[in-house]
Structure 1
Amino acid sequence: IYVLPLRHPIEAAKNMATLAVLSDNRFMLGFGAGWLQEEFEQFGVDFHRRGGRLDEMLTIMRALWRGEEVSFHGEHFQLDDVNIRPYPSKPVPLIGGGHSGAALRRAVRSCDGWYGPGNTLAELRTQVPALLQARREAGLPTEGYEVIAPLTEPLTPDAVTEMSALGVTATVSYPFLFGIGPDASLAQKKAYMDDVAARFIQ
């Protein structure tokens, strides 16, 4: 998850456009507003205004990715007649991360998917249906909407089956943290990875 408000929208848009072009549009941008205030202070960015800055960035970046000449006059950014090259042949999917109310609203209304902060399966049973219902209530499609939900507990075939039924489209496994534990020996970690590969990787 990229902490987008720490950057400038032109720089970010150019970098992501290049990745989209080089990957033949296989790139998705997972981003969040950030949580570490000291990180923002190092960049000279106002931590408390990062949400508004982020929203303006999304508008600017989407316009730049269309190959247009962009002018924008907002609270955080002032642009006149800017364009970028290369630009992608189709929009870069935006995957909003986070679990705060603002992050969830942004993911629902302004993004092509949501990236969870790490949840238990029990939490996802409530979170994912609520997220998809919010999309429907906003008049937005749920088909094609990415729900990427890292699991903060061991990944099992039953868990994957249930997550898929809930509407989760992808997950992320943190094997040494949740599957076997950080104090496991090297041999145990290798055995765990071999087992996960045999069960889940086709």
Structure 2
Amino acid sequence: MRFTFADAMTNPQYYVPLAKAAEDAGYHSFAVADSICYPEVSDSTYPYTPDGSREFLENKPFIEAFILITAMAQATERIRFVPFVLKLPVRPPVLVAKQAASISALFGDRLSLGVGLSPWPEDFDVMGVPFPKRGKRMNEAMKIIRGLTSGGYFEHHGEIYDLQSIKINPVPAKPVPMLVGGHSDAALRRAVRLGDGWMHAGGKADELDEILTRLAAVRKAEGKENDPFEIHVASIDAFSVDGVKRLEDKGVTDVTVGFRMPYQMEQDTQPLEEKIAALQKFSDKVIAQCG
């Protein structure tokens, strides 16, 4: 099992020392949250809070994901970074390909590209991107990123994007893993057909089991049940050695852990020293025992 550390909406000055501490403590990856903006007026709902409220996001600090990854990667040597998740359809895919390839080339292929659909129509509006057909937009964007980061000339002629033959340089020495977030059937199909893995956003244990069953069915239907495939899960089971074993038995490859509730209205006032102590304590009690 591999372990990913997650902290978000915290003091921006904490991220670099947290990345260093997570690397030293044996974490495999560092999860990076993505948020474009917060609209003053919106009737959108958040899919991962019980009541759909999104007010906890207001006035919370979010550093642009690729900039934050660059800063942390510069200060570390081994730990990987994974957006959890990058709101891909609101971004130009050629630019995302260039950003992902540049980070991978600079920092030893330590980027996994977690991507997903933004639930906020406002994100699309402010970026000048139509909200309809966002699923098709994401599918084509993933294909473009895959093609351009593989090296050589690549062209794409689809319903959403029409891209002449181009290439970018440098490209990663290894393919950038693309992981798809989301719990819908469409997200699971996208993860299997176009991605290298799936990312779970949290929820009840029985809900995870149901999603994993659906995911296995999709992999079998696509003839990919035996292909390498990453499954990143956020679960209470990850906080004990026995729980990690249960997740491994279900086919989970990576667990994401954080040590405070993110869906809070209040600003994060936890001192950096307490954050580092928490990630180190987990490493001592769980990661070291699962090695």
Which of 99, 110, 116 is 1:15 aligned to?
Answer: 99
Equivalent position of 1:196 in the other structure? 282
Q: 1:53·1:76 contact (CA, 8 Å) conserved in 2?
A: yes
1:132-186 CA-to-partner distances (Å, cap 9, x unmatched) read: 23212211144521000112677222221111110111111132129xxx99987
**Structure 1 unmatched ranges of 5 or more:** none
Q: Which has the higher contact order (CA 8 A, sep 6+)?
A: 2
Q: Percent identity?
A: 34
In the aligned structure 2, how far is the partner of 1:90 from the partner of 1:190? 31
In the aligned structure 1, how far is the partner of 2:183 from the partner of 2:159? 25
With over 3 angstroms needed to count, the CA separation of the structure-2 counterparts of 1:86 and 1:193, relative to structure 1, is closer
2:115 is aligned with 1:31: yes
**Structure 2 unmatched ranges of 5 or more:** 1-84
How many residues are treated as equivalent by the alignment?
A: 199
In the aligned structure 1, how far is the partner of 2:276 from the partner of 2:97? 39
1:44-63 CA-to-partner distances (Å, cap 9, x unmatched) read: 11122211111111121211
Query: Secondary structure at 1:47's aligned position in 2?
Result: coil
**Structure 2 length as normaliser, TM-score?**
0.61
In the aligned structure 1, how far is the partner of 2:95 from the partner of 2:102? 11
2:253 is aligned with 1:175: no
In the aligned structure 2, how far is the partner of 1:113 from the partner of 1:2? 14
| Alpha-carbon distance, 1:192 to partner | 5.0
Comparing both structures, which one devotes a greater share of its residues to helix?
1
Equivalent position of 2:246 in the other structure? 162
Query: Secondary structure at 2:174's aligned position in 1?
Result: coil
Amino acid corresponding to residue 233 of structure 2 in structure 1: A
Matches of residues 1-202 of structure 1 in structure 2 within 5 Å?
A: 1-151=85-235, 155-177=239-261, 192-202=278-288
**Structure 1 length as normaliser, TM-score?**
0.86
In the aligned structure 1, how far is the partner of 2:216 from the partner of 2:226? 6
Backbone CA RMSD of aligned residues: 2.6
